[in-house]
Structure 1
Amino acid sequence: MSLSAATAVLSSGGVVTFPSPLFDTELLTIYNPLDLWGFNSSYVVAEYLYLLFAAATLSHAWKNSSTSSSLGLWFGCLLSGSIVELFTILSPEIGNFYHTQASVMLIGKTEPLYMLVGCYGGIQYLAVQLAFTAAGDTDTKAGRKLGVTLISGLAGRYLWSLLDIIGAHFLWWVWHESDKLYLAKASGVSAYTANLLSTTYLLAFLAYCNQVPIASSFWILAETASIGFIYSIVRRRNALLVSVTIAVITPLLLNIPFILLYHPFSNNYGHPEIPLYLLEAAAVIAVLLMVRGGHSVSSHRWLFYLAGSFVAINSAIFIAFQDRAGRNLRYSYGEPFTNSSCHGVTELVFWGTAERDRFLCPAKIGSDKLYTLSCLKGPLMEGRWYWLCGVGVSQEAFVEVCIEVLKTSALIFFLFAASLGGKRKII
């Protein structure tokens, strides 16, 4: 029987075929979400909830642009995030992150719409606005500009971590399996945990409490912090200027923490988690020092309701679909796949500064991965588009998600409680 690349024979004897899109151009592809439901129902639910979340944050931005350019902030988050995301996705020198097909895909089926509007536009907007509930007078106080920068980064990192860890376990995307930026994670467990256990219980505990990819966490923290800093300077300007300034400067500014902290600790000492902990600790100190901000009660309460709903919805998705994780199927693009042995075949990336494996092959897909080939019957299709099977959620993974939910909830609760009362401290 001759099969197309979009068709797979399952080890159970069944045959699955990925659906054709309802609308397909180079810039926009639309699938029927009902056709995708049987492959990964959690992804369909998450996609539309994130689109609703994007609409909710955009509505807040529209209604609260009288005293500062919230609308400019929302579009600035969207534009800056899109620039960084699309550059890393589309550039052959990077290309280390591969989305699963959602019902609305952009630019040659490589980028889901929900990621741009819901995660960059929505999550980062909400993170910065939450930070400003504790920021107070950022227009005249330089210390508060630094404080809101750190709190923005911390809020962005924690909110995003829910997507990061749940999406990884539910096969909403995959990473390049040998890219050095993601080697700090293996099957949801920090590759540094064992080493840290032999040195200090404190660092071991911190490693366990940060069970999402180190590079991804640091990147989101740096990017959202950059947006918060820029917004603290230009938020009284018109929306167009705010959005353009954030979009242009953020992709450049976020590299500074990487150059000064992440790469030195990673390359010289082999501990990329340390700069992440340092920035998180600095942000926690900033939260404790700045206990009350300048938003109206009605405005900031709506923000916290939205933040609480975001955490609750992500938690509900995880609880509702965790039993189905091992039955998820993924047909999408990724690291080139071959059935033959691929060990030792490498390529230079990052403009000749890094080396990684060129192909993914069955021999590399072991118990340390969040995907498998066990549900498929060979011979497997080769190329950039291929099928993968989900992996069941382990008890350890369940604990990891619970820790991320608790950390995010604690930050939201503290900012909310602090914004309601207490003396305002000036730093």
Structure 2
Amino acid sequence: MVKDQDLFAFGKNYDNINFEGPLDWFFQLTPIEHVWKYQPSYLLVHFLFIFGGLITLLHAFIRGGRLPYLWLATVLHGLVVELICYFLPDVDNFWHSQTPIMFIGRRLPLHIIFLYPCFLYQSTVAVSKLKLPKWSEPFAVGLGVVLIDIVYDIVCVNFGHWTWHDTDPSIEDRFYWVPWNSFYFHATFAASFSIWFQLTKKIIGNSNDKWASNGFIKEMICVLITSLLGVPGGVLMFIPIYHPLHDIHKIHSEVTFMFLFSIFLLLTWLGDRSARGKESPKETQKTHWSSWLLIFHLILHYATFLGMCLYFKPGNDISIGLKEPIGPCDEFSPVHTPFGMVLQKRKYLCPTNYDEKYFDWSCLPNKQPPPNGSIWYTSCIVQPKNMLEITLIAACLSVIALVVFINLHLNSFGDGVFERIKGLTKTTLKKKNK
């Protein structure tokens, strides 16, 4: 049995991790001083998402109605996504660094559970204030999630907060080391989640009010269906664009994402024109004070990643933990596609021939990589040569995202879309508008 102090020793390599029963496998603690010593920026991000999850939960309970169920659905949907990725070989293509609280055999950090409400809940609430038609809203939610995710993805992968599989064909095309399919994934899975959350309400619910609760049992059925079917719905959206263009015709994933982005943006714009043609935003309620909690979280979200770029150096960080297994460079695993094609990826990370330039072995004794068979080892985060460029890109995207979300909260139909769930009558609404 490997002790924690040995597990987190610099330069130690292990080909197996033994757990003392199911509970020990399910839940593990990492010394917080270890994370702060080797990856201090990761610890900040860990607490940022926990804070964001609690802020969104607080907002959900303040506003009531279906919002607490929306929050729960985002968490369960996220767990379904993560577990599928860990246990299905075809999509097992990323490994998180260790944080103070880990789950599922040290694969799942606590903050990743809260990442999904930070993305999905935030985007859903903000987009709802546009009063888009049902056929348009899910795609706007998908775009909103990408806006929240993109800076996090670009900055954190360059700080080594996780690593991607080196040769998986679905993530081989990168943008500052972020797979273009990461953005495609967030957009489509968020859209699918939104479709199912509203569709189950229509089928199972007995209220025409979009955000009024239909009672605990019915809402929990909606939550479970949304959590489970959000994933296959997202996968289906890969079929008409990504798989034929990339897998068959070898078109770069940047192009397939831009196709998807254009379609989502067009549907959002058409829906917005339709909504504003029927109602005037000038006749809406004032912003509820709880919306400022969400705005504050978004400001803190983007400020944290910009602060990392300005005050931390990725080249000072070291990652010790469970990672892609190291092994022979000539062994491959099949990757099955919906069109029946069988692609391939390396079964193991080849330590002498890989293309993930954000980490290497330069900090290890004699710069020697871990031996074959290692699943727990030390990697050295590389200082990007273009850190200023990454910082400028992150700053630009952060400004754009904040302008979008602040306008959604303050300059659209406002919190009037949620007022009826608090029991306000039409008479009360009229008085407020005077």
Same fold (TM over 0.5): yes
Contact 2:96 2:163 in 1 (8 A): yes
Partner of 1:389, secondary structure, is strand
Q: CA deviation at 1:38?
A: 0.6
Aligned 1:14-33 pairs, distance under 5 A: 25-33=24-32
Identify if the C-alpha distance between structure 1 residues 369 and 276 changes in structure 2 by more than 3 Å, giving closer, same or farther.
Answer: farther
- Alignment correspondent of 1:265: 245
Pair 1:392 & 2:362 matched? no
Give 1:82 shift: 0.9
* Greater Cα offset, 312-321 or 83-92: 312-321
- 2:128 is the counterpart of 1:132: yes
Does the 8 Å contact 2:143/2:265 carry over to 1?
no
Q: 1:140 is matched with which residue?
A: none
Measured against aligned partners, the alpha-carbon deviations of 1:208-252 in whole angstroms (never above 9, x if no partner) come to xxxx42111111111111222223331543331331221122122
What residue is the counterpart of 1:349 in the other structure? Answer: 335
TM normalised by structure 1 equals 0.78
Q: 1:265 to 1:93 in 2, by over 3 A?
A: closer
Match of 1:220 in 2: 186
Describe the SS at the equivalent of 1:332: strand
Asked if 1:229 corresponds to 2:210, the answer is no
Shift of 1:418: 3.2
Report the CA distance between 1:398 and its aligned residue.
1.8
C-alpha distance in 1, partners of 2:193/2:292?
A: 20
Aligned in 2, Cα 1:305/1:168: closer, same or farther, shift over 3 Å? Answer: same
Match of 2:349 in 1: 360
Give matches, 1:152-191, under 5 Å.
Answer: 152-185=141-174, 188=176
Judging changes above 3 Å, is the alpha-carbon distance between structure 1 residues 307 and 169 closer, same or farther for their aligned structure 2 residues? farther
Partner SS for 2:37: coil
Is the alpha carbon distance of 1:28 and 1:170 closer, same or farther for their aligned partners in structure 2, counting shifts above 3 Å? same
- 2:98 is matched with which residue: 96, 101, 105? 101
Deviation at residue 256 of structure 1 after TM alignment: 2.1
Which residue number corresponds to residue 110 of structure 1? 107
- C-alpha distance after superposition, 1:316-347 (max 9, x if no partner): 34324553211111112222224xxx443322
Q: Deviations over 1:247-304 (max 9, x none)?
A: 12212211221112221222234132333332342255147424577985344x6335
Structure showing greater radius of gyration is: 2
Report how far residue 377 of structure 1 moved: 1.6
Q: Percent identity?
A: 19
1:369 matched to 2:349: no
2:60 paired residue number: 61
Are residues 147 and 306 of structure 1, via their aligned partners in 2, closer, same or farther at CA, if it must alter by over 3 Å? Answer: same
Distance 2:84 2:142 in 1: 21
Query: 1:146–1:71: structure 2 CA closer, same or farther, 3 Å change rule?
Result: same
Q: What is aligned with 1:41? A: 40
- Which of residues 248, 255, 270 is equivalent to 2:235? 255
Question: Please, what is the CA RMSD of the aligned residues?
Answer: 3.0
In structure 2, the residue corresponding to 1:265 is in which secondary structure? helix
* C-alpha contact 1:345 1:358 (8 A) present in aligned 2: yes
For the residue of structure 2 that corresponds to 1:364, the secondary structure is: coil
Task: Indicate the larger mover: 254-263 or 72-81.
Answer: 254-263
Q: Choose from 407, 413, 434 the match for 1:414.
A: 407
Q: Is the 8 A contact 2:130 2:413 kept in 1?
A: no
Q: Aligned residues, how many?
A: 372
Asked if structure 2 preserves the Cα contact closer than 8 Å seen for 1:127 and 1:155, the reply is: yes
8 Å CA contact retained: 1:128, 1:224 = no
Question: 2: distance between equivalents of 1:119 and 1:217?
Answer: 15
Q: Structure 2 length normalisation: TM-score?
A: 0.77
Q: Do the aligned residues in 2 keep the contact of 1:328 with 1:389 (CA within 8 Å)?
A: yes
Where 1:362 maps in the other structure, the secondary structure is coil
Cα distance change, pair 420–4 in 1 and its aligned pair in 2 (3 A): closer
Distance in 2 between the 1:120 and 1:31 partners? 22
2:318 is aligned, of 309, 329, 340, to 329
Contact 1:331 1:386 in 2 (8 A): yes
CA separation of 1:287 and 1:158: change in aligned 2, threshold 3 A: farther
Partner of 1:275: 259
Q: Distance in 2 between matches of 1:106 and 1:400?
A: 33
How big is each residue's C-alpha offset from its partner over 1:57-115, in whole Å with a ceiling of 9 and x where there is no partner? 1111122223xx11111111111121011111222332101010011100110101110
User: Is 1:381 aligned to residue 370 of structure 2?
Assistant: yes
Paired residue secondary structure (2:365)? coil
Q: 1:94 touches 1:350 (CA, 8 Å); kept in 2?
A: no
Output the CA distance in 1 between the equivalents of 2:34 and 2:117.
27
- TM-fit CA distance, 1:121: 2.6
Give the match's secondary structure for 1:347. Answer: strand
The SS at the match of 1:167 is helix
SS of the counterpart of 2:320? strand
- 2:28 is paired with a residue whose SS is strand
Q: What's the CA shift for 1:151?
A: 1.1
2:87 matched residue in structure 1: 90
Counterpart residue identity of residue 170, structure 1: F
* Contact preservation (8 Å) 2:73, 2:224: yes
1:402 corresponding residue in structure 2: 395
Separation in 2, partners of 1:109, 1:8: 18
Q: Assess, with a 3 A threshold, how the Cα gap between structure 1 residues 304 and 262 changes in structure 2: closer, same or farther.
A: farther
**How far is the alpha carbon of 1:4 from its aligned partner?**
6.1
Contact kept, 8 Å, 1:325 with 1:391, in 2: the verdict is yes
Q: Would you say the 8 A contact 2:123–2:145 is kept in 1?
A: yes
Contact (CA 8 Å) 1:214, 1:276: kept in 2 or not?
A: no
